[in-house]
Structure 1
Amino acid sequence: MDLFAQAPRHQPLAARMRPRTLDEYAGQAHLLGPGRPLRQALEQGALHSMIFWGPPGVGKTTLARLLATLADAHFVTISAVLAGVKEIRQAVEQARQQAAQNGRQTILFVDEVHRFNKAQQDAFLPFVEDGTLLFIGATTENPSFELNNALLSRARVYVLKALEQPALEALLDRALADTERGLGQHTLSLDADARRMLLDAADGDARRLLNLLEIAADLVDDGGTIEQAQVADLLNDSRRRFDKGGEAFYDQISALHKSVRGSNPDAALYWFARMLDGGCDPLYIARRVVRMASEDIGNADPRALTLCLNAWDVQERLGSPEGELAVAQAIVYLACAPKSNAVYKAFNAAMRDVAEQPSHEPPLHLRNSPTKLMKELGYSVGYRYAHDEPEAYAAGEDYFPEDLEPRQYYQPVPRGLELKIAQKLEHLRGLDQQSARKRRS
């Protein structure tokens, strides 16, 4: 199929401005610059199956089309949202016909390939393997999690990045000046503030930039100037790049969590604001903040957990924006609090032992004996009631199963309240040692 067949009459600006050459292609210099891997493969005619991974609007589809054109390959595109095994078989048949009739190689481009299930991904593997077609997949999701290992082993993953400011500026200028495909015939201009707002709102997405520019251009007459107020009206309901449940979502919550763990309240607030700006449910963040309180602060400052639960409650009761301020307060408190993952590590170690060990029974002296039969069987016999012991501590008592060596899962850190907890536990261990010496003597 012809990549550059005559465009439909009302084709959007973003589609009209698709680059026709690598020199027109915006961004991705780390892949297409001189001496870079993909550029070398092109120049050497050594195309291979590949996966383009990157956020929306960075040129994944455009680059696939360019590669097909430069390699003089037959280009077949399908969307994983709409297509199935039937469409894959049709693409394979086209590839065979092209090879037989014209000797041309076929590139099969699968958009949003992460939406294919395992069976669909497996369907075209034999034809990639035998060279019937070259496969190029595009995805916004992490291929490590979303694609089969069999497919990943046959395709090289290229990471496409959000477009940086210079690339966006060049694209904007070209769209305004191009009289054939852009807006040049309308001789429009941008005032400085409108230009800055458009570039900021694009957020690294070329398609978004051109769509916003086209809508703004419709608001002014030929020869006019697009002004800040007009762009501001367009952006009232805009959201920055944030894919709920997708890669950007987990990247940003990870950045928030790591900023808290790293005791940086300013960075933590930034990522909190980014997620809110992207449309994230504040209750989701409040829930994750409670998790942070236990995982990263723990008993170094037990008040953190209470504060975070209170913030969650405020968010549920008051909603936005009042609730978000309470969550922000909790985030700042966590970032500034002393850190300890001792409880988190201890809990994981205990869970690991339980999973790997047999189901040990509680020793008889630790069991309740509410009935006569239980008492006759020895339940509770020998149990030492801690409150009746010196310092309310039964020194030397063993609370683990009889056939399991006692463990020390919880090891407090020398920070915050856990410093005091560590001292208390050390004192109790000393009492245990004294008790053991008395039993031996």
Structure 2
Amino acid sequence: MFDLNLPLAERMRPTQLEDLIGQEHLVGPNGILRKTIKSGVIPSMILWGPPGVGKTTIANIIANEINSPFYTLSAISSGVKDVREVIDKAKRQSKAILFIDEIHRFNKAQQDALLGAVEKGTITLIGATTENPSFEVNSALLSRSQVYTLKSLTEQDQINLIHHVLNKDEKLKKKTVKLEEHAALLSIAGGDARKLLNLLDLVCDSIPGDEISITDQQVMDIAQQKVAIYDKSGEQHYDIISAFIKSIRGSDPNAAVYYLARMIEGGEDIKYIARRLLILASEDIGNANPTALVIANNTFQAVTVIGYPEGQIVLSQCATYLACSAKSNASYNAINRARAIVKQTGDLKVPMAIRNAPTKLMKDSGYGQGYKYAHDYPNNFAPMEFLPDEIKNSVFYDPGKNAREEEMRKRLRALWKDKYGY
């Protein structure tokens, strides 16, 4: 008997093909994967499909059907060492299955560590991924695996699943539950069976009494109050990354690391986080500390190579560094001001002195005439007008109020005197 404190999705996870709802094209009476499982000869495979459509469940069913040793690793929290430990155990067993959730998050070195064991048949690999394996899985590993594509659960699949668990789950059977409406449940779940069942469990727990009727309004009210999840494609995704960026901008490394942890635990794409840090280094720090951009760029390169779990350390280092850095949005403001002028004034003529003059005709027409080569003058500077006449003396870059940019301001003031008002 299952622990009734487990999440509903875990309590009701099917252990045999007959109980699986959805994926008829794979596990239905004529499904290719059903035939493979019934044959008892299981190839290494990649299960590709959206979240919560049965990838982990199918892997568990396979292990149950053929009675094999079954190991599970998560690509978010496991490294090469973990893979090798499983392979060493599998060498002392037969027909061992290794299930790797979110295998697309394994970097090349981690995927390469699997290759030899898969080739020799030491393990049967079952990888689950929400990303196209053609792009995210090592081609050598992919060539040794069958790829099975799982489909999103239909609305009817989800309704069938709700009624199935209401009739079968030992905890929910203690109540009389009437499903008056289901639109809100299905909308919030978004085709994710795991999310659907756990939300249903939460709603049933939150409505008092032994006889309850579930309406859309009740579901929405309860979800807004109590569902605290990290949805990589939903509102939480944008709320958490917004809080992360604003914490760094606000120079709070503690809040930055907290929201970073929320994203990591939620399975956020490591490269997405690194890209946002790279943008922030320029947008919110800029010339107040140019090294920030170098560190953020190196962070992106590093996490792209090493992935999870070690990449979280690099992200943490970068986030805390950026949070502790001096801040300036002067460069960000400068390009915005310049673009606004471009939109307003259109294609203004470039001053003749700084036009390119690759041909004799252009030179004869005055292109490049009067140009002063800065390095021929003291301090590598010669005063000229570089902007079109219509907007000359316009100021786009206003150095920030920080030590480094104040030095820039002093230099610009010394060079340009009163021209730009520095």
Give the TM-score, by structure 2 length: 0.54
Q: Whose Rg is larger?
A: 1
Q: How does 1:133-172 map to 2 (within 5 A)?
A: 133-172=123-162
Structure 1 letter corresponding to 2:122: T
Structure 1 letter corresponding to 2:44: S
Q: How does 1:299-338 map to 2 (within 5 A)?
A: none
Q: How does 1:237-386 map to 2 (within 5 A)?
A: 243-244=232-233, 362-367=358-363, 368=367, 370=369
CA distance in 2, matches of 1:84, 1:112: 13
The residue matched to 1:98 in structure 2 has which SS? coil
Using a 3 Å threshold, how does the CA distance of structure 1 residues 89 and 7 change in structure 2: closer, same or farther?
A: farther
User: 1:226 is matched with which residue: 196, 211, 214?
Assistant: 214
CA distance in 1, matches of 2:217, 2:229: 19
CA contact (8 A) 1:68 1:75 kept: yes
Deviation at 1:80, TM superposition (A): 0.8
CA contact (8 A) 1:88 1:123 kept: yes
Structure 2 letter corresponding to 1:370: Q
Q: How does 1:7-46 map to 2 (within 5 A)?
A: 7-46=2-41
CA distance in 1, matches of 2:151, 2:169: 29
* 1:68-92 C-alpha deviation (Å, 9 max, x unpaired): 1111111100111111111111111
Using a 3 Å threshold, how does the CA distance of structure 1 residues 145 and 96 change in structure 2: closer, same or farther?
A: same
Using a 3 Å threshold, how does the CA distance of structure 1 residues 235 and 179 change in structure 2: closer, same or farther?
A: closer
Counterpart in 2 of 1:52? Answer: 47
* Greater RCO, CA 8 A, separation 6+: 2
Deviation at 1:217, TM superposition (A): 0.4
Using a 3 Å threshold, how does the CA distance of structure 1 residues 150 and 82 change in structure 2: closer, same or farther?
A: same
User: 2:98 is matched with which residue: 105, 108, 127?
Assistant: 108
CA distance in 1, matches of 2:158, 2:39: 29
Deviation at 1:156, TM superposition (A): 1.4
CA distance in 2, matches of 1:24, 1:65: 13
CA contact (8 A) 2:185 2:216 kept: no
User: 2:167 is matched with which residue: 177, 186, 200?
Assistant: 177
Counterpart in 2 of 1:86? Answer: 81
Counterpart in 1 of 2:246? Answer: none
User: 1:213 is matched with which residue: 200, 207, 220?
Assistant: 200
CA contact (8 A) 1:177 1:187 kept: no
CA distance in 2, matches of 1:222, 1:71: 41
Deviation at 1:244, TM superposition (A): 5.0
CA distance in 2, matches of 1:73, 1:216: 37
CA distance in 1, matches of 2:33, 2:141: 19
Deviation at 1:239, TM superposition (A): 11
Using a 3 Å threshold, how does the CA distance of structure 1 residues 96 and 370 change in structure 2: closer, same or farther?
A: same
Q: How does 1:401-420 map to 2 (within 5 A)?
A: none
CA contact (8 A) 1:203 1:241 kept: no
* 1:386-428 C-alpha deviation (Å, 9 max, x unpaired): xxxxxxxxxxxxxxxxxxxxxxxxxxxxxxxxxxxxxxxxxxx
CA RMSD of aligned residues (A): 3.1
CA distance in 2, matches of 1:215, 1:242: 17
* 1:78-128 C-alpha deviation (Å, 9 max, x unpaired): 1111111111111112211223xxxxx111000111111100000010000
User: 1:95 is matched with which residue: 73, 84, 90?
Assistant: 90
Structure 2 letter corresponding to 1:125: L
Structure 2 letter corresponding to 1:76: Y
Using a 3 Å threshold, how does the CA distance of structure 1 residues 9 and 35 change in structure 2: closer, same or farther?
A: closer
CA distance in 2, matches of 1:55, 1:241: 16
CA distance in 2, matches of 1:94, 1:371: 78
Using a 3 Å threshold, how does the CA distance of structure 1 residues 128 and 363 change in structure 2: closer, same or farther?
A: same
Following TM superposition, the consecutive aligned residue runs of length 4 or more in structure 1 with deviations greater than 3 angstroms are 6-9, 235-245
CA contact (8 A) 1:118 1:148 kept: yes
Using a 3 Å threshold, how does the CA distance of structure 1 residues 241 and 196 change in structure 2: closer, same or farther?
A: farther
CA contact (8 A) 2:3 2:11 kept: no
Number of aligned residue pairs? 250
Using a 3 Å threshold, how does the CA distance of structure 1 residues 369 and 22 change in structure 2: closer, same or farther?
A: closer
Structure 2 letter corresponding to 1:134: T
CA contact (8 A) 1:219 1:230 kept: no
The gaps in structure 1 that reach 5 residues or longer are 1-5, 100-104, 250-283, 285-315, 317-360, 373-441
The residue matched to 1:231 in structure 2 has which SS? helix
CA distance in 2, matches of 1:89, 1:58: 29
CA contact (8 A) 1:73 1:107 kept: yes
Deviation at 1:43, TM superposition (A): 2.2
Give the TM-score, by structure 1 length: 0.52
CA contact (8 A) 1:212 1:234 kept: no
CA distance in 1, matches of 2:84, 2:146: 23
